[in-house]
A and B are shown apart, each in its own frame.
Chain A
């Protein structure tokens, strides 16, 4: 009997050996791949335990984690929710995220590679997990000025520090309350989210960097002027024909200046400087046709058109079409046809001019600090591209100053400060409300801020509004907010 018992013992030991192996394989060798399985909700729940780092603007906390006491442990809270929605976005542990919450998620949640040593320290010292703090470049005073100035109008403001590329303000209206999407009651969050999706104002869209892009209208003349001066064949005083209407080659529809008359004070010709100052379409259409779409496209792309950008929010690329026929080239020379731009893009155009032709890479994140306040990531100003010579930039600046002081953009005037600016009033189709623009910078001799304002749906005034009437005053408030500091 003993021989049989010994054999049975061997079988029992073999059975247990199989169990020792199978448990080892699952808990050790397959652990990583099992943790990465999307059906493994434990991995997700683990992420809730981390206290996400706060998001700060200046000395204001604009997003923070508060303890909930339920299985989610924490939930996001946005103290100035609607003001900063375009910057922070929202964060929900199960339903997704947007804005800085999304693009800085690995640092905020403490899972970034930069935080590896931090994490080891934490485990050894037994502290609870905590993400890094993200300081954004947004200046609360500028942000608030932009938000208040836009009021009920649908639109967006982006302000950049020309010398560094720091984004000082990014507002999109109508806005929404990210707190409504941050809750742990999933059904309520989904309900709120669907309500926001169905809202005709599209509040979830950040118009500063995305959405259905608008034609830039006359603000695009800054790009065409840059192309002209950079070609070496044109100077501000170069004269262009000045008819009251122009029928583009191959079409039957005439193009008019705003006001349907000749540009400026009349006369057979008009200088490029005056065409900018009074924002005349016909001379620019003629200029565009002479330059050709390739030269304009090349300049536009140096300013950032046809290129997506990460600030680190992903920015939809503004469009200067790849293929244009002659009439389209003419129309696109004053920002119509299929040219489309984000407010960030137009602010970059102004910033490039303001910074003597050196366009700085725009960015929203100033500094990221770990749990022990050690800096993990700092804003390093960098040149994105050289957009023009300093001389070209200076020529355009002078024309923009004239436009504000005594031209088409007078509503942006600030006493005692020379403001450079350019308005835009873009048509969207017969009878549709205009898109109203302003872009510019101040002070012209030492630019502290470049701004772009877009107001959609004619600012509620259909085809009666203009860039100067509605967008320029908004820009003025934003410029003042920076200059008053």
Chain B
């Protein structure tokens, strides 16, 4: 960044120079952010006009506060990651705002106010999440530091996953034992943070061992299969995922972890056999689970036979799923308009079914826009892998971006009956603090990796 002409390089001069250098990426980000903030505030206003017919400035100012925090993150990026991808932050800002507006809309429908309101908690968690992202971007100045602690992250992920199973600390919510709580006040899903630790661990581990994983083995049916003893890692991850299914009763999280690992090992080794082994292992495990575990079996029934009256009436049956689908259908092509539908009829409309709620009021047009935002976000994450940079960074950003894609697929696909519905969160949209914090940290890491991956010559500026 510094030019050779200046010898006496004080921090003051450095700062002044940084301010002087035209930061194309950051300026582009800023203009997109302004657009995102306008969208967010207008959505809140439309919700108020649509649902109550009056304007209440409290939530507008709270949304503006979040915008200010995002601006803070933007300013930090100008200093510590000026070449980071300019699309990531505006996309997640607008998604986060859409989520807040819809959750607020549901609060109005349910009559929740103050701290009882999901929207209030969502805004506070968003603030915490953005601050966490700022912290990560400030502390982790170089993502290669993370590579050094590969096994520490692996161990932490393991511990985080086990936390909810500790008696007294774990909480069971909607059947899944994935929460920890201190008293009744603070509850957290450590699995959300664990997925980041796992991504770092997988990336570090695979970069270290990929040669032995990819080069040795025998060919069978034209595909090179690994040696039996190299199957160790995938079996361990598989066992971990199955453990999540059996002990934490959380199908979605297991699918998420395993999908992330399979994709990362495939990209690291370039061996399709790993994908086949992975699909085989997980498919077999899921098949056995669907037969032997009643909750998994119920999920499959709800999926395949959603419209049968028997399944609809059953305890934990397809009632919620169908109400969500009715909501989507009610929205049609252009939606009922914000504040004018009836998304609150669907249970869990603010979390599992947030996408159905959005579909009802914003219509297919709105859903396509949201899905397109996710697609661009994931695309920008994968794009880092195509650029000049270290393999650890490439693998890490691929893993993180793919978890977002997979999570969107599992949730939207679950609500729209592409796959059985499992309880995950729709990233950035759904009500839930742990998910917000984890996903904003993912954004920070993607920003960090994308900043370093950018080839220097592309951003060279004349002083």
A residues with CB within 8 A of B: 1-5, 8-9, 11-13, 15-16, 18-20, 22-28, 30-31, 34-35, 37, 39-43, 45
* Shortest distance between the CB of A122 and any CB in chain B (Å): 16
Question: Does residue B342 face the partner (Cβ distance < 8 Å to A)?
Answer: yes
Q: When the two chains form the complex, which single residue of A12, A18, A34 contacts B418, counting CB atoms closer than 8 Å?
A: A18
Query: B375–A27 contact, CB under 8 A?
Result: no
Are A27 and B409 CB-contacts (below 8 A) given A19-B418, A39-B322?
Answer: no
CA separation between A27 and B358, bound complex, in Å?
12
What's the Cα separation between A37 and B374 when bound, in Å? 32
Q: Which 4 A-B pairs have the closest CB atoms?
A: A34-B329, A22-B416, A27-B364, A4-B267
Cross-chain pairs A/B with CB under 8 angstroms, 9 sampled: A11-B263, A15-B413, A16-B409, A20-B368, A26-B325, A35-B330, A42-B330, A43-B330, A45-B345
Given contacts A9-B382, A19-B409, A41-B345, contact A1 B329 (CB under 8 A): no
Q: Which residues of A contact B421 (CB under 8 A)?
A: none
Q: Which residues of A contact B413 (CB under 8 A)?
A: 15, 18-19, 22
Is residue B391 contacting chain A, with contact meaning CB distance below 8 A?
A: yes
Selected from A3, A9, A12, A19, the residue in CB contact (under 8 A) with B416 is A19
Taking the complex as formed, is B87 at the interface, i.e. its CB lies under 8 A from any CB of chain A?
Answer: no
> B371 to A8, Cβ gap below 8 A?
no
Residues of B within 8 A of A43 (CB): 330
Distance (whole angstroms) from the CB of B269 to the closest CB of chain A: 8
The CA-CA distance from A40 to B360 in the complex, in Å, is 13
> Per-position contact with A for B299-311: 1 when CB-CB < 8 Å, else 0?
0000000010000
Cα distance A363–B320 in the bound complex, in angstroms: 47
Instruction: Collect the chain A residues with CB atoms within 8 Å of residue B312's CB.
Output: 39
B-to-A contact residues, CB < 8 Å:
263, 266-268, 270, 307, 312, 322, 325-333, 341-342, 345, 359, 363-364, 367-368, 371, 374-375, 378-379, 382, 385-386, 391, 394, 398, 402, 405-406, 408-409, 412-413, 416-418
Is there an interface contact between A24 and B364, defined as CB atoms closer than 8 Å?
yes
CA distance A39 to B310 in the complex (A): 13
Name the B residues within 8 Å of A4 (CB-CB).
266-267, 270
How far is the CB of A441 from the nearest CB of chain B, in Å? 55
Chain A, residue nearest B324 (CB): A26
Question: Of B325, B342, B359, which is within 8 A of A34 by CB?
Answer: B325
A24 to B418, CA, bound (A): 12
Contact B398 A5 (CB under 8 A): yes
B371 touches A20 (CB 8 A): yes
Q: Given A9-B382, A23-B371, A26-B329, 20 other A-B contacts at CB below 8 A?
A: A4-B267, A5-B385, A5-B386, A8-B382, A8-B402, A9-B379, A12-B405, A15-B409, A15-B413, A19-B408, A19-B409, A19-B413, A19-B418, A20-B368, A22-B412, A26-B328, A39-B326, A40-B326, A42-B327, A42-B342
Given contacts A27-B331, A42-B326, A42-B327, contact A19 B385 (CB under 8 A): no
Q: Are B333 and A27 in contact (CB under 8 A)?
A: yes
Query: Which residues on A sit within 8 Å (CB–CB) of B402?
Result: 8, 12
Contact A26 B398, beta carbon cutoff 8 Å: no
Bound-complex Cα distance A11 to B260 (A): 13
Asked whether, in the complex, the Cβ of A42 is within 8 Å of the Cβ of B382, the reply is no
**A48 smallest CB distance to B (angstroms):** 11
Tell me, in angstroms, the Cα distance from A26 to B417 when the chains sit together. 10
Report which of A15, A23, A35 forms a contact with B359, defined as CB distance below 8 A: A23
State whether A27 and B418 are in contact (beta carbons under 8 Å apart), knowing that A5-B386, A19-B409, A19-B412 are contacts in the complex.
Answer: no
Asked, given contacts A15-B405, A16-B409, A24-B364, whether A30 binds B416 with beta carbons under 8 Å apart, the answer is no
Q: How far is the CA of A37 from the CA of B327 in the complex (A)?
A: 12
Report the bound CA distance from A409 to B442 in whole Å: 96
Given A28-B364, A34-B325, does the pair A8, B375 have CB atoms closer than 8 Å? no
Contact B409 A2 (CB under 8 A): no
Which residues on the B side are within 8 Å of A1 (C-beta)?
A: 267-268, 270, 385, 391, 394
Distance from B437 Cβ to chain A, minimum over Cβ atoms (Å): 24
Q: Which residues of B contact A27 (CB under 8 A)?
A: 328-329, 331-333, 359, 363-364, 367
* Most B C-beta atoms less than 10 A away, residue of A19, A30, A40: A19
Residues of B within 8 A of A39 (CB): 312, 322, 326
Q: Are B364 and A42 in contact (CB under 8 A)?
A: no
CB-defined contacts of A28 to chain B, threshold 8 Å: 332-333, 364
User: A18-B413, A19-B409, A28-B333 known; A8 and B267 CB under 8 Å?
Assistant: yes
Beta-carbon contact of B342 and A45 below 8 Å: yes
Report the separation of the CA atoms of residues A19 and B368 in the bound assembly, to the nearest whole angstrom: 9
* Distance of A12 Cα from B371 Cα, bound (Å): 12
Docked Cα-Cα span, A24 to B371, in Å, equals: 12
Measured CB to CB, the nearest residue on chain A to B418 is: A22
Q: Which one of A22, A26, A31 has the highest number of Cβ atoms from chain B below 10 Å of its Cβ?
A: A26
* A37:B385 contact, CB within 8 angstroms: no
Closest to A23 in B: B367
Instruction: Find chain A residues with CB under 8 A from B371 CB.
Output: 16, 19-20, 23
Residues in A with CB closer than 8 Å to B418 are: 18-19, 22
